Structure formats: C-alpha cells, structure tokens
Structure 1
Amino acid sequence: VSEIASSWIRNIRDYVREGQKVVLKVLRVDPEKGHIDLSLRRVTKREKIEKMLSWKRERKAEGLLRSVAERAGLSVEELYEKAGAIIDERYGLYEGFEKAAVEGVEVLTKIGVPEDLAEFFVEVAREKIRLPSVKVRGIVELRCLRPDGVKVIKEAFLNAKKSEKVRDADVKLYVVAAPRYCIEVSSDNYKRAESVLQKIAEAVISNVVKAGGHGTFRREK
C-alpha cells in the first residue's frame, strides 16, 4: 500500500491493523514483479461504505447459495453452474434472492432457472431474508346521510380489510376528522402496497355508494 494518508504517518496502525478489512483503490499492477500498488487515501468515504455494503451482500449471497445447494442435493459449484450464474448475470446474486423472496418462482424461471431449483431459491430467500417494509397512505372522504350512515361506513371498511385482495399487507384504517379517513398500507413490496391501497379505497367507496352515499380518494405523497 503506497498511499495511506495525506498527512505524516507516525504509526501505520492508526490507519490499518492486521486482520482488518479495508477498501483500497488499485493504482498500478505489475504482473512481472507480482506487485499491486494500492491506495487507502484515494478512497472516498462514500466509496468505502458502498464497497463494504456490497461485500457484505456478496457474503450473505454465498451463505444463501450454500443453503439452497444443501436442499437441492448439489454442491455449491454445481448449483452456481445450473442456476446461480444465470441469476448473478441478470440481477446480481443477492438481488436475485431478494426478488425471489418478493416475486416468487416466476421471476427466476422466466430467466431460465429450472423450476425445481427456483422453488428452493424462493424457499430459502423467504426464510432468511428480512425485507425492508414500505408504507403508503391515502385519504378517503365518505358521506352517507342515512340514519345508520356511520354504521355503513364502518362496515365498508371492515369488509374491505377482510378481502382476499389485501393479503400479504398490513392495513390500518383510522379517522382523520370526519368525513376524512386514512388508509395506511405496509408491505415488503411497493407495487403490492400501492395495489392494496387502491383496492381498499375502491371497495370502501363502492360499498358506501351502494348504500346511497358518496366518496372520493386522494393518494398522499
């Protein structure tokens, strides 16, 4: 390592220690001498963070691949040749596992991964990857002038929340200030969260309209 810091170095252990993992930039390579000239100083803080995150994801992907190989009865090398390389080239290996966890078998089979192996990838991904949750919300304005109007609106929300269309999402409904009500949807998939939000709003408004009322929906940013 030819460049450690921009200032005078009294003790190299103030910057790097034995066994420590550091991000370095390659300056020159001399194949004849077997030398690689590296720089610590020229690596920005952002580059360090991005590279360490990438390295951690690669390590996780290797562990996930080993789990899939065990379940499939293959060596890691065989599995990588049959499926891992395809996923790695198209999505990146860890990103492929994330997609498998969210979108299921089809996201792998459509790029050429054998279905039996794709099922193992999805199984392992959903067991071992914790996906970040996304949250979307919108406001419905509902009015029903019937004597039991409040009951109509309450039942419209309950029926919409029980629908099969809202599976795989966490839904919260609460009053902002009548006649305004908030629908809040959390999911590990943004498109699914948006879809559930839209379907609940449509179902609620439809039920209120059927009872003689009316309603509008506005997606909150």
Structure 2
Amino acid sequence: MSTASPINSDCRMYEARFPEVDTPVMIQVKEIGDVATHVALLEYNNIEGMILLSDLSRRRIRSVGSLIRVGRIEPAMVLRVNAEKGYIDLSKKRLSDQDIRVCEERYSKSKLVHSIMRHVAETMNADLEDLYIHVGWPLYRKYGHAFEAFKEIVNDPDSVLKSLTRELKEIGPDGKEVTKVVPAISDDVKEALVRNIRRRMTPQPLKIHSVIEMKCFEFDGVLHIKDAMRKAEAVGTKECPVKMKLVAAPSYVLYTQTLDKEQGVKVLNKAIAVCATTIERHKGKLTVKEAPRAVSEREDKLIAEQMARLERQNAEVSGDEDSEAEEDTGMGSVDLDNSSTSSGMMD
C-alpha cells in the first residue's frame, strides 16, 4: 500500500541556494570549537557555515565567550562559498555598521514573509518550496523584496497576484501534450495568503501619551484650565486627534492614536506647549511629568485602570474635601463636554 509523500514545510527564503560573497547574512551560532565556530545560515534553510576564530574580531581575542555564544543570532559577512562541497566561510570582523543595519533590516522583512508563507503552506497542506517558486521568488525578483509586494497586497491583492502564473502540462483530446498557463495558486490558497498578509501586515495605530500637572490659582481658575484643555485638543489632526483627561487633580493625561509615532509625539508636544502658554497667561503653571511616548497595550490598560480607580476615589470624596482639594490646586473635576464644573464655581 503506497503512502502519500509528506508535504515539504522547509525552504530557504531566497531563490539562490547559496549567498553571494561579500554579502552580510544572518546566522545562529551552533557550536564553538577550538579553531572555528559552526553556524547555521537562517535565511538559507539553516545550511552550515563556519567562522574561524581569527575572523571573529579585529582586536586581540581574550575571551571567545565575550564575542560569540551558542544560540546567539547575529549578522556575519560571507567570505567564500564552495557550492559543490557546500562550504561557506564567514567573518564577523569584516562587518561594517552599515552591513549590520542592512542585514538586520532585510532579515526582519524576510522572516515575516517566511512566517506568512510557511503558515499558509501548513494550513493549506501545500508545498512550501512550490509556493516560493510560484509566488515568493517571482515577487522578490519583481519588487526587490517580497515584503514590498506583500504591503501592496494588503490594499490591492489582484494588482500583485493576478500576474503570477504557472505552466500546466496535460494531455489534450488528441492524445498530445499541451501546455496551459494557469494562475500560480488556487483560489483557496490565494484567499489564505491574502488573509494572513492582511492580519500580519496591516499597520496598527500606536497610542502616544503624556502626563502633565496643571494648576491655576486665579479666580475662575477651573475655567482657565478648561480653556487650556480645549486649546490643547484643538491642536490634534484627523490623523493624530488629541484627547486630554483629568487623572486626579492636578494631574492630566494627553494621548493620541496614530500610525506615525514621530508625528504623534510631535503633535502632543505642540499640544502641551499650547496648553502651557494658555494657562501661564492666567498665572497658572504647567509641569511635564512624563514626556510624550508610545505605550504598549498592557501599559495603556494599566493607565486606564488607574484613571478609573482615581475617578471612583474622587466620586467618594465629600463636598468639604472637594473644596479643600480645590483650594489647594485651584481646580476641581473638569468635564470639557459640560459647561458646568464640580468645583465651587456655582452661583
């Protein structure tokens, strides 16, 4: 009884079986010997390479352990390639800072592409190398890197994938072999590929936040603070909307969500500057307690929980305690959506 051949789920990332000489590649250290270090070339399906100890560093080696460790992943420069015997000699000391940057950036993109390709191959019971032959490597050739093609697939899959075809040989009605040109992948594999690319590569907005303290001891101080908050929020744009909320007097948090981290930080800094100018005009003071920065989902959740807890605590404070807090900070609870305030500003 015959059994079906197992589906191949291993494949190099690039079309060439071996790297070119004088090219930086990403390696993982497997074994450190007396005269050489044995490594795996991660982008080339873990084929073996070797780094002589003399090629580890330009400086005198006092301790090999300080230069390289088993399991470490890092770039190395290709010195020699013997394709017939499969020998690859590498060097660490030949790397420049530019080589390292180029290698790390390329590997980061290639690793994501490879992860998507492997996942599609495994879930769709497809051969990974076949998927690379008909999709991955043609995209590398056309776009310089398949990562760039995948970015376009997020918004317009057909513009990228429609041109990919393969030749299929079959026997015609007359018994002769004919060659047909068909799409490179079936509709279900295409759907799985697009779905995985969109899931992994659709940009996710970052949350940028900053914490400030703001006080104003003038009469109508709460209204001046409220005005400063409005002007800070007015700095926001459609791409970087600014929101400002009271944490607990006199602390406030400003935040925005954006796809562009640098732009988000810039907008929040501008909002803080506008807020400071407005409140200082009324003899108030603004102090930045935490400069604008990107926060993780976990940090954002913790901040939200902290704000909710402080809001509950504020709600439990009696009217007398509210007045004392207000006298100390020059403000009470501020609600930008409600023209009234919870301080002693009432008639």
TM-score under structure 1 normalisation? 0.51
What aligned pairs does 1:74-93 form with structure 2 within 5 A after superposition?
74-91=126-143, 92-93=145-146
Q: Distance in 2 between matches of 1:41 and 1:33?
A: 25
Who is 1:129 aligned against?
A: 201
Deviation at 1:78, TM superposition (A): 3.1
Who is 2:155 aligned against?
A: 102
What aligned pairs does 1:174-185 form with structure 2 within 5 A after superposition?
none
> Mean alpha-carbon deviation: is it higher for 72-81 or for 52-61?
72-81
Local SS of the residue matching 2:59? coil
Distance 1:9 1:98, change over 3 A: same
What aligned pairs does 1:144-183 form with structure 2 within 5 A after superposition?
171=238
Local SS of the residue matching 1:6? coil
Local SS of the residue matching 1:22? strand
Bigger proportion of residues as helix: 1
Deviation at 1:129, TM superposition (A): 1.3
Is the CA contact (8 Å cut-off) linking 1:61 and 1:93 kept in structure 2?
yes
Distance 1:30 1:78, change over 3 A: closer
Local SS of the residue matching 2:74? coil
Q: Distance in 2 between matches of 1:33 and 1:114?
A: 35
Q: Distance in 2 between matches of 1:81 and 1:31?
A: 20
Local SS of the residue matching 2:152? helix
Local SS of the residue matching 2:90? strand
Who is 2:42 aligned against?
A: none
Who is 2:103 aligned against?
A: 51
Bigger proportion of residues as strand: 2
Q: Distance in 2 between matches of 1:9 and 1:109?
A: 54
Task: Kindly provide the amino acid, as one letter, of the partner of residue 151 in structure 2.
Answer: E
Q: Distance in 1 between matches of 2:121 and 2:83?
A: 36
Q: Distance in 2 between matches of 1:54 and 1:88?
A: 12
Deviation at 1:52, TM superposition (A): 1.9
Q: Distance in 2 between matches of 1:15 and 1:73?
A: 42
Is the CA contact (8 Å cut-off) linking 2:154 and 2:202 kept in structure 1?
no
Task: Kindly provide the amino acid, as one letter, of the partner of residue 203 in structure 2.
Answer: L
What aligned pairs does 1:200-215 form with structure 2 within 5 A after superposition?
none
Deviation at 1:4, TM superposition (A): 2.2
Alignment of 1:62 onto 2:87: no
Is the CA contact (8 Å cut-off) linking 1:23 and 1:48 kept in structure 2?
yes
Q: Distance in 2 between matches of 1:36 and 1:48?
A: 19
Is the CA contact (8 Å cut-off) linking 1:87 and 1:108 kept in structure 2?
no
Local SS of the residue matching 2:238? strand
Query: C-alpha deviations, 1:7-43, integer Å up to 9, x for none?
Result: 2211011111122122222334567987644321120
Task: Kindly provide the amino acid, as one letter, of the partner of residue 61 in structure 1.
Answer: V
Distance 1:26 1:105, change over 3 A: same
Deviation at 1:70, TM superposition (A): 4.2
Q: Distance in 2 between matches of 1:35 and 1:119?
A: 40
Q: Larger Rg: 1 or 2? A: 2
Q: Distance in 2 between matches of 1:173 and 1:36?
A: 49
Is the CA contact (8 Å cut-off) linking 1:105 and 1:115 kept in structure 2?
no
Task: Kindly provide the amino acid, as one letter, of the partner of residue 97 in structure 2.
Answer: K
Distance 1:79 1:10, change over 3 A: same
Local SS of the residue matching 1:27? strand
Deviation at 1:71, TM superposition (A): 5.0
Q: 2:60 aligns with which of 8, 13, 18?
A: 8
Distance 1:19 1:86, change over 3 A: same
Task: Kindly provide the amino acid, as one letter, of the partner of residue 97 in structure 1.
Answer: F
Distance 1:106 1:115, change over 3 A: farther
Q: Which runs of 5+ in 1 are unaligned?
A: 134-169, 175-185, 189-221
Deviation at 1:69, TM superposition (A): 2.5
Q: Please provide the CA RMSD for this pair.
A: 3.6
